[in-house]
A and B are shown apart, each in its own frame.
Chain A
């Protein structure tokens, strides 16, 4: 079937109309896709990500969606680069707009020669360098359902960016094969329609191209998937959770991953049940975890404190989103840090770890399981929406870096050699060897009440003092076991930067800009243990710099405040760079802050 010429006639507004030019090669490209929720923006972003990945490029996709099933403005951006870049590119090169709002919002972020591709069956625009194609009408007429307009748009983009046709098709096949032969054929047809339409515009085809990269053996993943995989290989076998954005994927991945390894995953009736089911499983000697976000964390706070008092090893992943209360469920923030550090009534030890990349999410979930079981404390993973949900190119997860260290778990044979078994036995390191219930020959009392070594309720003063020392002393004694921080940039730099979680991507990009454009050399410290504050690691770092910018996504500067409290002698050097608008930092914001001296 041929397409009538009139139907595909594109609407072109090219302010720089000129003879066909050679393809401009980019080492770093950003495509923004915007429209109404349900327009398929995330699908286009996924397709582009898959294509770029096959080209050996580093991919970083971020999404900006609303907390509703359909409708409302939604956009996604895909960055493809030859160098690793775990950050949203400061400016957009190509904008794909499914509606006028997307064009209005997106064009402000375009580079001067940036191109807009839009669906002219929905709206018209005279913005410069804009190319309208009636995707919805074309696809509606020829495929039968306008819903495939997103695949047609992907086809048009593939022409603009000089994509290899075979690989472009392969991406469609890879993505839609699971949906059945009919869906695949319809998508391939929509692809051809989009491609044909774009090819008809004289100077559009192959205007730009992205040089191939060498990241071929890498994977495309999200932090939440990495946490789920780390949990499985780290020996995690029980997970209970309650659906909550942006943490739900961890539970969903585990529902697929865990059963073949005799693991159990339960969706509980609420977060109170989830954390208590996890506590029950941990009590039974099984490595257990839950994941949640701010509102769920508030409910789980009760249970985490109970695990702290009863010395039961649990792991809780907190995928931070905008708070307080329901806040902005789909948006980026890092405002739970202070809550995790101080979590709960009363005092008990907890470790708060903060991975910054999917690879660290994978490896540090294993660390969290090992640390929880060895030290018999709750371990909290401080994650954030961007880290949890933005697709990132990552080195393959490496099993040779995984070590399952079970801590002092008593087997039946070991127990048989004892004269007595006390679940809370006093010991030099504060760790009481534990015989899970079911271990033949022994039984115990486990409780959140203050207790003696046997687990019997006790209000005796000497016992209370010894038990507090036993538990709280773990914060100091565990130091050497806790994940060390990362440092980036020359050691002799006089300007320091500090960031954790997903902000390290934009901070690293800012470091490059500062070095190349401003000749300012900086050193970045990425703490991976947030609490207990690794003072011995931070002190020499701060001692060497004249000034240090603490970059974080909250209003009050929660980590900066924690540092001021823990290293008051460096108080004067610390500057707080904060963002709390729901969007990830872009590197120019950090560059500006450093230039301006905040």
Chain B
């Protein structure tokens, strides 16, 4: 057995919501029996983005906000890999917002996991895109990524979980991973992951989370219904959690970008680039040049 990089101790504060995420990711990967060499975690910048260091898998630490672009590059280069991008709300919804929106549109089959703590923890508690009005003098309005995700009509998987409920989170992550491993497209899971040091919301969120599956009319295949349910829940001062969107089940739904570009499953990483393997094609290509 070749010795590979061993996980290191998390840098997180005791009680950090990200521990719950780490445990759920481990459980989901083990339950799905994903071999560590085939699981790629692209980490963002911030406390949460360091999660790849604490797992026994392939990890790449991306630039701040650019993890989705790197993750799409990995997936399109090697469609056989299971790709997870993970980072925080600042990373994803502030500096990475452009890539975030385009990830839904691209619909490459990878899981994007955002650990939302409504603050910039690593830089000591500044307001983030999801911070409530009044937090650290914040006068801007908080951003709700789930509503944005629901507004983009692409058959993605969308969910919100809470670190205080690791069991549900594991179930959701398993479904999300199965979704991307079946080349069905992009999966987005926002986890409410409190920062115990700068924005300890455990108690508040435990009181406020509302499982959308328990609401009348819950139908995650219908975006309009889910948009309305989420807004109504917010208006009642609650935070909607649960599976917000999943396309109607169908075996033929291999609509991930990598499947559209590489229908036979042979991608750049599988391509034989030796000159001798391509002589005929290259000769034809060069002969066609004016």
Alpha-carbon gap, A235 to B268, bound state (A): 10
- A220 pairs with B290, CB closer than 8 A: yes
Alpha-carbon gap, A422 to B5, bound state (A): 7
Alpha-carbon gap, A396 to B282, bound state (A): 13
Within 261-284 of B, Cβ neighbours of A (below 8 Å) are at: 261-262, 266-271, 273-275, 278-279, 281-283
**B275 contacts across to A, CB distance below 8 A:** 233, 235, 399, 402-404
Alpha-carbon gap, A442 to B275, bound state (A): 28
Alpha-carbon gap, A219 to B37, bound state (A): 46
Asked whether A286 is an interface residue with its Cβ less than 8 Å from the other chain, the reply is yes
Alpha-carbon gap, A233 to B273, bound state (A): 8
- A269 pairs with B282, CB closer than 8 A: no
**A272 contacts across to B, CB distance below 8 A:** 66, 69, 98-99
How many residues of B are counted as interface, with CB atoms below 8 angstroms from the partner's CB atoms?
A: 61
The answer to whether residues A280 and B102 also contact, given A268-B69, A443-B58 and a CB cut-off of 8 A, is: no
Q: Which of B61, B99, B278 contacts A269 (CB 8 A)?
A: B99
B159 to chain A, nearest CB (A): 24
Q: Which B residue's beta carbon lies closest to that of A444?
A: B5
- A285 pairs with B78, CB closer than 8 A: yes
Alpha-carbon gap, A302 to B35, bound state (A): 32
Q: Which B residue's beta carbon lies closest to that of A399?
A: B282
Asked whether B237 is an interface residue with its Cβ less than 8 Å from the other chain, the reply is no
- B73 pairs with A456, CB closer than 8 A: no
**B290 contacts across to A, CB distance below 8 A:** 50, 53, 219-221
**A441 contacts across to B, CB distance below 8 A:** 1-2, 4, 37
Interface centre among B8, B75, B275 (most CB of A within 10 A): B275
- B4 pairs with A444, CB closer than 8 A: yes
- A443 pairs with B56, CB closer than 8 A: yes
- B77 pairs with A221, CB closer than 8 A: no
B221 to chain A, nearest CB (A): 28
**A406 contacts across to B, CB distance below 8 A:** 273
- A454 pairs with B6, CB closer than 8 A: yes
Asked whether B62 is an interface residue with its Cβ less than 8 Å from the other chain, the reply is yes
How many contacts A-B (CB < 8 Å)? 227
Interface string of B76-107 (1 = CB under 8 A from A): 11101100000000000000001101100000
Asked whether B116 is an interface residue with its Cβ less than 8 Å from the other chain, the reply is no
**B248 contacts across to A, CB distance below 8 A:** none
**B58 contacts across to A, CB distance below 8 A:** 437-438, 443-444, 446
- A443 pairs with B4, CB closer than 8 A: yes
The answer to whether residues A233 and B278 also contact, given A279-B70, A281-B77 and a CB cut-off of 8 A, is: yes
Q: Which B residue's beta carbon lies closest to that of A455?
A: B5
- B73 pairs with A260, CB closer than 8 A: no
- B59 pairs with A445, CB closer than 8 A: yes
- A261 pairs with B286, CB closer than 8 A: no
**B278 contacts across to A, CB distance below 8 A:** 233, 261
Asked whether A10 is an interface residue with its Cβ less than 8 Å from the other chain, the reply is no
**A266 contacts across to B, CB distance below 8 A:** 72, 76
Asked whether A306 is an interface residue with its Cβ less than 8 Å from the other chain, the reply is yes
Asked whether A273 is an interface residue with its Cβ less than 8 Å from the other chain, the reply is yes
Alpha-carbon gap, A449 to B59, bound state (A): 13
Interface string of B211-247 (1 = CB under 8 A from A): 0000000000000000000000000000000000000
**A568 contacts across to B, CB distance below 8 A:** none
Asked whether B60 is an interface residue with its Cβ less than 8 Å from the other chain, the reply is yes
Asked whether B204 is an interface residue with its Cβ less than 8 Å from the other chain, the reply is no
Q: Which A residue's beta carbon lies closest to that of B65?
A: A272
Alpha-carbon gap, A306 to B266, bound state (A): 28
Q: Which A residue's beta carbon lies closest to that of B64?
A: A302
Contact surface of A with B, Cβ cutoff 8 Å: 50, 53, 219-221, 225, 229, 232-233, 235, 237-238, 240, 257, 259-264, 266, 268-270, 272-288, 302-303, 306, 310, 396-397, 399, 402-404, 406, 415-416, 418-423, 436-449, 454-457
The 6 nearest A-B residue pairs measured at CB: A280-B73, A235-B273, A276-B69, A237-B268, A281-B77, A277-B73
* Further contacts, 11 of them, CB under 8 A, given A306-B62, A306-B63, A441-B37: A221-B289, A259-B261, A261-B281, A264-B262, A280-B60, A280-B75, A302-B66, A399-B283, A443-B58, A444-B4, A448-B63
A-B pairs with beta carbons under 8 Å apart, 18 shown: A219-B290, A233-B282, A235-B274, A237-B77, A237-B268, A257-B285, A263-B268, A264-B262, A272-B66, A276-B70, A280-B69, A280-B77, A284-B81, A310-B60, A444-B4, A444-B59, A445-B59, A457-B53
